Amino acid sequence: MHFSDTDFEEKVIKSNLPVMVDFFAEWCGPCRMAAPIIDELSETYKNKVSIGKVDVDASTGTAAKYGVQSIPTVIMFRDGKEVDRKVGFGGRGGYEEMIKKVI
């Protein structure tokens, strides 16, 4: 799933489920390390956490709003608010831990 500047409010901020957002860019190597793990986790935890990606090149507004200065940055939102953040490649354990804290 992808989020953009236009649907971020609706799909992330107003979501009933916690939402994990992976800020990435196509040309970023460590983002490519994170991508398959994020995909797998979104399958494993579907219906419990909504998981999606924001392309920082395409959605510069959202990336700037949340002060993303390093990619990948993964932010967990609950009730529209940031509750957790991991900067740089976090590994499966790191991302799974973020999810377990909110479910």
Partner 1 sequence: MNVGNVIVIGGASAGYTAAIYLARATLSPLVLAGENAGGQLMFTSEVENYPGFSKGIKGPDLMDEMRKQAERFGAEIKNENVTKVDFAGEVKKVWVGETEYQAKAVVLALGASSRMIGVGEEKYYGKGMSTCAVCDAAFYKDKTVFVVGGGDAAMEDALALARFTNKVTIIHRKAEFRASKIMQQRVLTEKKIPVMWNTEVVGVIGSNKLEGIRVKDKTGKEGDVVADGLFLAIGHTPATDILKGQVELDGHGYLITNMTSNKSQMNQEIWLNSYPTQTSAVGVFGAGDMVDIRYRQAITAAGMGCMAALDVEKFLTGSFGSW
Nearer to partner 1, 28 or 98 (CB): 28
Going from the C-alpha of 65 to that of each of 1, 8, 54, 94, the distances in angstroms are 20, 11, 13, 24
Compute the chain's Rg from CA coordinates: 12
- Phi and psi at residue 86, to the nearest 5°: -130, 125
Position 80 contacts partner 1 (CB under 8 A): no
Position 68 contacts partner 1 (CB under 8 A): yes
Q: Which of 12, 19, 21, 31 is catalytic?
A: 31
The footprint of partner 1 on residues 8-67 (CB under 8 A) is 25, 27-33, 36-37, 67
Question: How many residues bind to partner 1 according to rule CB under 8 A?
Answer: 22
- C-alpha–C-alpha distance, residues 30 and 80, integer Å: 27
Identify residue 29 by its one-letter amino acid code.
Answer: G
Strands 73-78 and 19-24: antiparallel
Nearer to partner 1, 21 or 37 (CB): 37
Binding residues for partner 1, per CB under 8 A? Answer: 25, 27-33, 36-37, 67-71, 73, 85, 87-89, 91-92
Q: Which residues are catalytic?
A: 28, 31
